[in-house]
Structure 1
């Protein structure tokens, strides 16, 4: 645990945000502020029990001192020394008790200050007050929250036109996505917009398996290797990949889900078009998750076998939704989720599921849901800060920060980092997928049910006047 007050310095231990590891800024995990506070508060609670015991011991020592008064005159010199010794013992215990009480108070006060600061920063960001006039916004890494990602996150929480762009909604209707702001605003707005005429494509429709292809190949099971597989899978519309690996203690499985594929209208049958973003953000990926469960069954996965899910951009939303899908978790033992460039702050995984999220400070997409990822022991968020080359306008896409190659580069840095949170996270992933090697790879082609055809107009038509044809 990182502490800003070293042992013997006289100050209460205070959690410290982990220092940047090169281009990596790390939040959450075993080195995160929240877990450090949890440890400190648990320690303070244990010390409080000791304080109570020391208080009892102090009272007993003082009672012994008082009891010695009756015998002091029998042997005045030795009796006096005994009374003094008992009194000094009581005072020594009292000093230790007082020091521990102060330490417990300081830890609790430090925690209250942290919670107040986080709440203040969150409120100011929600209000759009991010200028120097409102004081330093010491946020996630002790830096002002002024990155592209954080500005997009703030904008989406209030009413972001970027969300409209992400979903392919015309600019005139962008304001409909704002709602009243707050963390659940994006999902609520998408569901509300799906009820409007002309936006029925935002409602989820059943997803089925249209085909499958199986082969055997060597697989790189590192975080970078798995993310690059998401790039390869994304080259063909509507496909996911299921890997069967030797996890060390038996069979293990990996589901690889690609990012958004803008090769057709969102009303089409590709489940990973922009309509798939709506399903992920507003409907918990219910239909896509059902298709993934079926794909795992067809690949040969058995109930209870360990599984990791990997997703890029939109694929990360679907992957994280699996971590809170009770029907999915009742069948498969999801252990780990890896995402890159994905807006997943509003998704809370079930306890015991580890996750690693890669974001870039110049990528607005991870902030498009208006919420930052939670800082917990099992959830680690890495922000990449490496400089980027601006591509030509024709190749700009969603911006240079959102490119998967950049995230794979960051994942390589994650794998060799000495940061305790990242080391624990990569070990957790390796515990599921093993070291890679020969694996059975099955590509599944998924198709979303087509939009229902418009009903024919059955209103009676006025007949034109004219000659009748004679019956044959």
Structure 2
């Protein structure tokens, strides 16, 4: 555990954020603040137990010293020496106990300070107030990244709306506190009820085509994200890959980002309405189709599973981590996302996840919630400089380019940071390092709205999709064997 206070300085041990690793800013995992805090609590509990044991030994030593008093007259010199030796031993035990007790008190003080800071920050966030002017540690002057700016604005939607209505700032802050941070899930559901936006409501998603082939698959984080780019070149497709895992067979589900065009309107489950289904309705319809795809590919009950998603696909992937039907049938071990707003999604305990974001990518901040800092959840923010693409290729911005995230994933694999090494090792423990694998590519289609007939098209004949990856940058089309 990282200590901000050097040993012997007299101050309590403090948790500290891990230092940046080049262009990678890391949160969570075994080097994260939350896990360090858990270590502090475990250490305090262990110290309390040890202090109690030493108190017992100290009491027994004093009892032995008193029991020797009647025998001192039998041999004054040896009796006195024995009494003195036992007394000195008892005092030494008392010194050690006192030192451990002080350390335990310092750890408990750190715990109280941490809890107070967390409660205060939660209150300020609920009021829509946060930043250095409210007591945060000062930071070097810098322009806010697109991701943080969007996340902050969405988190403060209640207060922002009050200000737009012309209410005084104090009253706007009170209304923001009463309303709390923006509930994006509820906002999406409310929007779907508005006239003209009924297309945002989820509809059943089914499998309309499948192809199976063998291929050499790179199962590193970078390789898996590049596969998401290749899958995204065809409308409404996902991949279900059977791999020889490190310990036993495992499956990898690859889910693409948002796609524009390529199928009749409303038929592609990964069109913009798919974002509404993911954020507002927990991917209910898409998760059913993914589970059916796993069953058709041959995944057996209890098999290990890894979910990988880019942008919208990352939201679907994280939602699998709390889908009861999926978790009842498969052992979801790991989720990998890139450029996805998933801070408001909490998977079931024990599911590991690794999230890539770029400070200039606004999409990961679109839910207004930062990813939690936990033992099982690691978030990496890329800070590398970006080149502005031509306007026609701007898409959702240069920060959202999948190729940039794939390059960042390669840096993660090479990193020596403890949190990243632990996270990538957890992924490799499930899927191995790569090699020959069986790839099942499924075509999914969303059911037409009542009164809106459409041509489903023939499986395998879909025109290429224009997805958010392609609009932000280009990737070479993956080769099939």
TM class by shorter chain equals 0.7 to 0.9
Structure 1 residue 127 displacement after superposition:
4.1
User: Partner of 2:206: helix, strand, or coil?
Assistant: strand
Q: Structure 2 unaligned runs (5+)?
A: 161-175, 454-481
More deviation in 128-137 or 400-409?
Answer: 128-137
User: Partner of 1:58: helix, strand, or coil?
Assistant: helix
Question: Aligned pair in 2 of structure 1 residues 439, 237: CA closer, same or farther (>3 Å)?
Answer: same
Question: Aligned pair in 2 of structure 1 residues 158, 265: CA closer, same or farther (>3 Å)?
Answer: farther
Aligned residues: 438
Question: Aligned pair in 2 of structure 1 residues 73, 98: CA closer, same or farther (>3 Å)?
Answer: same
Distance (whole Å) between structure 2 residues aligned to residue 143 and residue 332 of structure 1: 48
Structure 1 residue 126 displacement after superposition:
4.9
What TM-score comes out, normalization by structure 2 length? 0.85
Q: Structure 1 unaligned runs (5+)?
A: 163-177, 456-472
Q: What residue in structure 2 maps to residue 318 of structure 1?
A: 316
Structure 1 residue 30 displacement after superposition:
1.3
Contact preservation (8 Å) 2:154, 2:182: no
Is 2:77 the partner of 1:68?
no
User: Partner of 2:99: helix, strand, or coil?
Assistant: helix
Q: What residue in structure 2 maps to residue 39 of structure 1?
A: 39
Distance (whole Å) between structure 1 residues aligned to residue 138 and residue 263 of structure 2: 42
Contact preservation (8 Å) 1:158, 1:181: no
Q: What residue in structure 1 maps to residue 293 of structure 2?
A: 295
User: Partner of 1:244: helix, strand, or coil?
Assistant: strand
Distance (whole Å) between structure 2 residues aligned to residue 161 and residue 37 of structure 1: 32
Distance (whole Å) between structure 2 residues aligned to residue 70 and residue 100 of structure 1: 34
Distance (whole Å) between structure 1 residues aligned to residue 263 and residue 193 of structure 2: 18
User: Partner of 1:280: helix, strand, or coil?
Assistant: helix
Structure 1 residue 145 displacement after superposition:
10
Q: What residue in structure 2 maps to residue 462 of structure 1?
A: none
Distance (whole Å) between structure 2 residues aligned to residue 454 and residue 390 of structure 1: 40
Contact preservation (8 Å) 1:158, 1:180: no
Q: What residue in structure 1 maps to residue 356 of structure 2?
A: 358
1:280-323 Cα shifts (integer Å, max 9, x gaps): 11111111000001111111211211111100011000000001
Question: Aligned pair in 2 of structure 1 residues 264, 219: CA closer, same or farther (>3 Å)?
Answer: closer
User: Partner of 1:230: helix, strand, or coil?
Assistant: helix
What is the alpha-carbon root mean square deviation over aligned residues? 2.7
Distance (whole Å) between structure 2 residues aligned to residue 160 and residue 394 of structure 1: 35
Q: What residue in structure 1 maps to residue 273 of structure 2?
A: 275
Contact preservation (8 Å) 1:285, 1:321: yes
| Largest Rg, 1 or 2 | 1
Q: What residue in structure 1 maps to residue 118 of structure 2?
A: 118
Q: What residue in structure 2 maps to residue 27 of structure 1?
A: 27
What TM-score comes out, normalization by structure 1 length? 0.86
Distance (whole Å) between structure 2 residues aligned to residue 334 and residue 143 of structure 1: 42
1:94-148 Cα shifts (integer Å, max 9, x gaps): 1111111111111122122223323434444554444543333479xx9999432
More deviation in 104-113 or 341-350?
Answer: 104-113
Contact preservation (8 Å) 1:126, 1:154: no
Distance (whole Å) between structure 1 residues aligned to residue 386 and residue 62 of structure 2: 70
Q: What residue in structure 2 maps to residue 444 of structure 1?
A: 442
